[in-house]
Chain A
């Protein structure tokens, strides 16, 4: 696999604010790569550095082996789907999509033909004459996608592209983006603060916090083997077990993470726990339990007998599901 994107010690500081601080990162060609993190964690800055809207304060960026610092956005074969789509309000849909071709001097007939094809790819054929303002959020999203893809970029950047859509549409668009990625075979870099989105769509995920990447890995690795408490907590609201508790169980004084769905009710053995609260989520039910001074989240399938708040229960888990974390903090 060849490298599409390489960051070496890249920083972007705004005065005293370190939006991005000495980040190393490698994204491979054809990957669907997610940048995940809370707002202000540096993931969007990272994307803007790739697009060329920002220049690094320090460090080195390579896109397909070429140095990217100092290259303006209009000379990068990288295109962006913007968070709020950034469609041109004075142009209709087809002219929005054909904009990149128009700029490159492609003739009217040819660029409209290409734009129509791009609209077909995102299932918007025949809407070319509409204005951006006349479209629904989902449609605008697709226009933005078609517009970004018409220049045939080697890397497509997506900045929280599904953030403004409602849940059902979001799930549908996730599928479509995945299909599109398979179909085109180009590198997708996707910024999101939604861990479910990142886990379900990406080949690999980089988790950002405070301007640094705290972990990079496949969704399974990130979910099952978080390296720090932040990762465990941010991805899938894991139970974080303190060193004393872990030491009593496995003899090692380390922080550990335990996924809520790994905990089960037991007839005997395990730990004594008291149900503090229970909330029904449809397919599953989330219980909050207290074990001594520890609070644990437990996710049970709703088919089971769910204990009510105040009940005493016994819980247990497979010791393999308890993941000891490398990082102390």
Chain B
């Protein structure tokens, strides 16, 4: 009896097999098929609406009729620069800057520990710890913070128990950052922003630090650099892309958010709230659009400067 011999080129049968073979022979076809849906989505839905928004900002509103005047004008942008609106821009950008800087400072040690020291169980604990806040609703977290920061809240209670109420009061009596209580001060807004966006800084920073090979740190030490010098001349520059990535998140999320400043803080407006009210009750779509363009321009400028400064050279 002949034992059955496997064919060297077994015949193709079935539509699915044929399809698989075709895709194998034309890998570009596969790429196109895989990329088409997201590209269409991004291209049409997202970029398209962005363009529509941009166009809107070059229209103006007729003050008497409240109707949109579909004629190219920079009048709306001039309107952005009146003191009341300029205040909103400065307030928002300052807050975004403060939140971003603080996020870098707070996130760095956490990310550094996770990237260089945490192994196994501790690494899992790190990921869960960082992600856990993202699993609960954003609104729940904000209201929880309102309770923490309120005059009757736990923070005040702790200060009172420590006989440090005078310290808190002194802080709250400071101009600008103070207020009646933490929950109605800029400090409160800042703390909640910092808390809510922190994971978005930690994760990219940790990824960047993880990619710094151990032997670069050894080489630096070998060439005479103390730990502090190694940090400044090797770790910081190599972590910079991670800092930039994280700051893009924290900065743009703060620029665009309209819920946190509404619930916690003084009742003065941020860009997001201005956009919200202008496109809603006020019906001033062009001004809302112009406000919305500001974060885009700022982020563009920021990335351009980061690139010029060489932040992405090590990528």
What is the minimal beta-carbon distance from A232 to any residue of chain B, in angstroms? 35
Q: Which A residues are CB-close (under 8 A) to B238? A: 89-90
Q: Is the CB of B222 within 8 A of A103?
A: no
CA distance A74 to B237 in the complex (A): 20
Q: Count of chain B residues with Cβ under 8 Å from any Cβ of A? A: 20
Q: Is the CB of B222 within 8 A of A79?
A: yes
Q: Which B residues are CB-close (under 8 A) to A100? A: 223-224
Question: A280 at interface (Cβ–Cβ under 8 A)?
Answer: no
Those of A37-89 within 8 Å (CB) of chain B? 51-53, 72-74, 78-80, 82-84, 86-89
Those of B209-266 within 8 Å (CB) of chain A? 213, 215-216, 218-226, 229, 233-234, 237-238
Residue in B219, B225, B226, B313 whose beta carbon sits within 8 Å of that of A86 in the complex? B219
Q: Which A residues are CB-close (under 8 A) to B222? A: 51-53, 73-74, 78-80, 148
Q: Count of chain A residues with Cβ under 8 Å from any Cβ of B? A: 26
Least CB separation from A102: chain B residue: B233
Q: Is the CB of B224 within 8 A of A104?
A: yes
Q: Which B residues are CB-close (under 8 A) to A87? A: 219
Mask, B102-135, CB within 8 Å of A = 1, is 0000000000000000000000000000000000
Known contacts A89-B314, A90-B237, A90-B314; decide if A53 and B223 are in contact (CB<8 Å): no
Q: Is the CB of B314 within 8 A of A147?
A: no
Q: Which B residues are CB-close (under 8 A) to A84? A: 215
Known contacts A74-B224, A89-B238, A90-B314; decide if A103 and B229 are in contact (CB<8 Å): yes
CA distance A86 to B314 in the complex (A): 14
Mask, A145-156, CB within 8 Å of B = 1, is 001100100000
Question: A7 at interface (Cβ–Cβ under 8 A)?
Answer: no
Q: Is the CB of A103 within 8 A of B216?
A: no
CA distance A103 to B223 in the complex (A): 8
Question: A99 at interface (Cβ–Cβ under 8 A)?
Answer: yes
CA distance A238 to B156 in the complex (A): 82
Least CB separation from B216: chain A residue: A86
Q: Which B residues are CB-close (under 8 A) to A99? A: 220, 223, 225, 233
Q: Which A residues are CB-close (under 8 A) to B213? A: 86
Q: Which B residues are CB-close (under 8 A) to A103? A: 220, 223-225, 229, 233
Excluding A53-B221, A90-B310, A151-B223, 13 further A-B contacts by CB distance (< 8 Å) are A52-B221, A74-B225, A80-B218, A82-B219, A86-B215, A86-B216, A86-B218, A87-B219, A90-B314, A103-B220, A103-B223, A103-B229, A147-B223
Show the binding face of A for B, using Cβ within 8 Å.
Answer: 51-53, 72-74, 78-80, 82-84, 86-90, 99-100, 102-104, 131, 147-148, 151
Query: Could you give 10 example pairs across A and B, Cβ below 8 Å?
Result: A74-B226, A79-B222, A80-B218, A80-B222, A89-B216, A89-B238, A99-B223, A103-B220, A103-B229, A104-B224
Show the binding face of B for A, using Cβ within 8 Å.
Answer: 213, 215-216, 218-226, 229, 233-234, 237-238, 310, 313-314
4 nearest A-B pairs in the assembled complex, by CB-CB distance: A100-B223, A86-B219, A86-B215, A90-B314
